[in-house]
Amino acid sequence: MINFAQLPKGRGAQSDGADTNLAQAPVRQLTSQASTLIIYFSRSGNTEAQAQLASDVLRADRYELVVQQPYPANYAASVARATEERESQQWPILDLSDFPSLDQYQLILLGHPIWAMTPANPMYQFLAQMGQQLANKRVASFSTNAGYGAGDTQIVLNKLTPASTRMLPNYTVHDIELAKTTQAFKQWLQKMVIVK
């Protein structure tokens, strides 16, 4: 069970400097039975906790996105790098060398933080690079934010995954509210099974 009380809180959440995986390999929970795949990026661990909960509720597989050059552990330095990437449109390079075939999956859930009112740069890069592979899949996203909501997430999804079937609107939660919103998130996830 996830202990949300131990997760980082609010702006400036601490990172281990390796996209939550300094001491362990990226999450690759892949089976031959699951019909749902959760693809996510997490800097501080909040989105990873949501992805784990979603996986438990939906019995879904998980694939964590990692960048070749991890973001700094220092929050201000991460913000500066992310801003520079966005302004120059020089997105981070992802390591997708072991990305699975999507053939078995009917539903793809995308998990990401919100940075500057848009999906975090690694998720944006993933969608730009791989969005066409989500064609004919049911797609939805969930996000964590620092108090300003989901921003233009739905616009980005519509633009970068035009051939997929959009499910429910993005579920977003202020990162300091994770523990209080577990039931609401579970209800949103269960609607995925109902809405087809």
pLDDT of 59-118, one tens digit each?
999 999 989 888 887 778 888 999 999 999 999 999 999 999 999 999 999 999 999 999
pTM: 0.89
As a whole number, mean pLDDT of residues 44-60 equals: 91
Are residues 148 and 174 in contact, defined by beta-carbon separation less than 8 angstroms?
Answer: no
Categorize the per-residue pLDDT at 194 as very low, low, confident or very high, splitting at 50, 70 and 90: low
Mean pLDDT of the chain: 85
- Report the CATH architecture of 21-194: 3-Layer(aba) Sandwich (3.40)
Residue 53 has pLDDT above 80, yes or no: yes
Where in the chain are the domains? 21-194
Flag whether pLDDT at 143 surpasses 50: yes
> What average pLDDT does range 37-51 have in this prediction?
91
